[in-house]
Chains A and B, each alone.
Chain A
Amino acid sequence: MNKVYHYIICFLCWLALAISLVLVLGVITILVVKGIGAINVSFITQPATNFGKEGGVLYQIIGSLLMVSVAFLLSFPIAIAAALYKSEYLKDEKWQHRSDMLLHILNGIPSIVFGVFALLFFINICGAYISWWLGSLILAIMMLPILTFSSYFYLQRLSPEIRESCLALGLTKGQFIRSFLLKRSFAGAVSGSFLGLARILGETAPIMWVATIFAGAGIPSSWNEPVATLATHILILAQQANHPLAVANGWGASLILISLVFILAAIGFAMRRKQLQVQ
């Protein structure tokens, strides 16, 4: 009976895995088949015209990369500091639990809520302009939990013997943090950040009201200018689904977006695996 039960569980697990893989592979296959025709050098190197029905996605690629890069720069030091604080100074178990819970909640907040919050608070109340830095700020907040957890995870894997050996040599806590933990939390946050970047790169909801406009955006020349992004550009093209050129470019832009996400995620996983091997 136990054996039958074991086989049923195994079968169900394999089935769940197969369904997940088929779905992912299916989406990727459709994107490649439909999108590859639209992609050529001019599609990547030229700006969009006629609401995206003609031209390429140059400004959208630049806008997306600009926003996620600045988001990364904003959240990276905060994530490292948060992970170090959690690991070294937050000794109370209650507060450890609470901080974990808060980070999980922050990670689970629907992206549209971030968008609404940014619109109401920064634009309506604070009077900020629709600008790319505001989008970066919101995306930085969104990726903060994943970076913090990734960094904290690496710190927790440091063997207690190393900690003891350092302290036994008369190092202060600060010296120990500088000598060992900072580099380690840095490595953790770097590998986590690629996964975080992959997540926020495709976000539309949190930025569409505060950082992007649907047409006319180029390369920003100041802080207070909006940008075009791949995610919002795909949304615009999808809204013109009755026009074959818009649909073709939509598939092409989607393929570029998913390729960027895939590359960042692959780098993140490779770095994480390499770090674990080193340990």
Chain B
Amino acid sequence: MNINTQQLSLEIANQTILKNINLSFKQGEITCIVGPSGGGKSSLLRSLNRIDSDKNYSYSGDITLGTSSIFSKEYSLEQLRKHIGMVFQKPCVFPFSISKNILFGVKHHQRMTATQAEQLVVAKLKQVALYDEVSDRLDQSALELSIGQQQRLCLARTLAVDPQVLLLDEPTSALDPYSTSALENFVLDFKKQGTVVFVTHNIAQAKRIADHVVFLCNGEVIESGSTQHMFGCSATAQTQQYLNTETCDC
């Protein structure tokens, strides 16, 4: 499913965070959002599944998932978040066993037999390349896992709900190279069936995995385009400067 933002603006406590964002996140593509800290990357990502809906944020413009607005009555917040899964920067496993962590979300959406649950746990752990590392301790506390393993478990937990869109907010910033590589491989695999929006500070990572890159600074889209275009012949000096030096004067 495609996600489109139309003239999306966001204000928090009278401060403009996002200004007139017009973007399209397409199915079958990985879109990486890059930009300096405080530029609005995470705010944009968090707008896409309305995770801050209970806060007094002021939105204007629209976001559509497929053909319907995510602000319309067609999507309840729960349905929306079921369709659009999210993985955060800091892994947050629940203080339960590994199996229970994976089943936690999905059990609130559908009933399943013990066999189905068991199969789902194995399938999702395999999908994030974690099964071989934890297969002998699925009933042990998830808190005992390393940070990298915890992040992959969070990803598996999100996948268990079967989202069509995956939002990832700097998911590899605290991970070791092995876990980073495992997560990147998974994302490259997932894009065949869904849409991926990936916020990262790591320019090399964006170059490795993105099909489409968005450069966001001070709440504005400075430039967006295919990875080849952005890294090869970007139109603005600001983009070239940021992608080459990771510094920005905007």
Q: How many residues does chain B have at the interface if contact means C-beta atoms less than 8 Å apart?
A: 24
Please provide the chain B residues from 54 to 84 with a CB less than 8 Å away from any CB of chain A in the complex. 54, 77-82
How many A-B contacts are there with CB distance less than 8 Å?
53
Of the candidate stretches A166-174, A225-233, A235-243, A262-270, the one touching chain B is A166-174
Q: Which residues from 75 to 113 on chain B have a C-beta closer than 8 Å to any C-beta of chain A?
A: 77-82, 85-86, 88, 90, 92, 94-95, 104-105, 108-109
B90 to A168, Cβ gap below 8 A?
no
Q: B107-131 vs A: 1/0 string, CB under 8 Å?
A: 0110000000000000000000000
Contact with B along A107-122 (1 / 0, CB 8 A): 0000000000000000
CA distance A175 to B85 in the complex (A): 17
What's the Cα separation between A122 and B39 when bound, in Å? 63
Looking at A162, A164, A168, A278, the one whose CB has the most chain B CB atoms below 10 A away is A168
Chief secondary structure at chain B's binding surface: mixed
Q: Which of B154-162, B212-220, B236-244 contacts A (4 or more CB under 8 A)?
A: B154-162
Could you tell me how many residues of chain A have their Cβ less than 8 Å away from some Cβ of chain B?
A: 17
Residue pair A169, B157 in contact (C-beta under 8 Å): yes
Quick one: given A169-B161, A171-B105, are A162 and B81 in contact (CB under 8 Å)? no
CB-CB under 8 A for A168 and B49, given A161-B88, A175-B108, A179-B104 = yes
Shortest CB distance B62–A (Å): 21
Neighbour of B108 across the interface among A161, A165, A170, A278, CB < 8 A: A170
Specify which of B79, B88, B92, B95 is in contact with A170 (CB 8 Å cutoff).
B79
Contacts of A164 in B (CB 8 A): 51, 88, 92
Q: Report the minimum CB–CB distance from B24 to chain A (whole Å).
A: 23
Cβ of A277 within 8 Å of any chain B Cβ, yes or no, is no
Contact (Cβ within 8 A) B51 A168: yes
* Chain A contacts with B in 127-142, Cβ cutoff 8 A: none
Bound together, the chains give a CA A159 to CA B158 distance in angstroms of 19
Interface residue ranges of A166-207 to B (CB < 8 Å): 166-172, 175, 179-180
Q: Mark B132-167, 1 if CB is under 8 A from A, else 0.
A: 000000000000000000000010011001000000
Point out the residues of chain B lying under 8 angstroms from A278, CB to CB.
95
- Determine whether the beta carbon of B82 is less than 8 Å from that of A165: no
Q: What are 9 A-B pairs with beta-carbon distances under 8 A?
A: A164-B51, A164-B92, A165-B88, A168-B85, A169-B81, A169-B108, A170-B109, A179-B108, A278-B95
Task: Point out residues on A near B: beta carbons under 8 Å.
Answer: 91, 159, 161-162, 164-172, 175, 179-180, 278
